[in-house]
Structure 1
Amino acid sequence: MGSIQERFRSQGLTRPSQGRILGGVCAGLGQRFGLAPWPARLLFLIVLLVAPGSQLIVYPVLWILMPPAQQGPAGPARTDFGPPA
């Protein structure tokens, strides 16, 4: 399965760590095709409504096959979640 994930990664199909709700599949698809996450989710839903039940297969398969986006060097952990001073 590593070669499939590498092929997806080389095509730009990765699951980002930011902007994801469940697994990041729609956010990754949107990122690949130049869409924001919400329009990509809406388009994904509309396409899957054409073939009812397919979302039960397509989303989990893409979740497994799409590798997570590679992270750069980690910065300091954010501990203040309040409004900026």
Structure 2
Amino acid sequence: MSDKTLALSNDKMIAGVCGGIADYFGWSSGGVRLAYVLLSVLSAAFPGLFIYIVLWLLMPKKDTI
């Protein structure tokens, strides 16, 4: 079992969602942000924005874990 937890990152531009996902999977935070923006733009923006806000509300802060 892994002790990794998906949490908001301190490496953030807005809320830390993309940084937290990058930390969890061991990816580059810039790459995750770029992929998120591309997916949001290609999906007419609303679904990407909605998912970001939901994750922002549901993901715990890294310092509270």
| TM-score, scaled to structure 2 | 0.77
Alignment length (residue pairs): 61
Q: How well do the aligned residues superpose, as a CA RMSD in angstroms?
A: 1.9
Aligned to 1:56: 49
Stretches of 4+ moved more than 4 A in 1? none
Segments of 5+ residues of structure 2 without an aligned counterpart are none
Partner of 1:37: 29
TM-score (norm 1): 0.61
Structure 1: state its 5+ residue gaps.
1-9, 72-85
Q: Deviations over 1:25-72 (max 9, x none)?
A: 00001111111211110111222233212122111111000110026x
What does residue 9 of structure 2 align with? 16
Q: Contact 2:36/2:48 (CA < 8 Å) preserved in 1?
A: no
SS at match of 1:70: helix
Higher share of residues assigned helix: 2
Partners of 1:69 and 1:48 lie apart in 2 by 25
Give how far 1:11 is off: 5.7
Identical columns (%) = 28
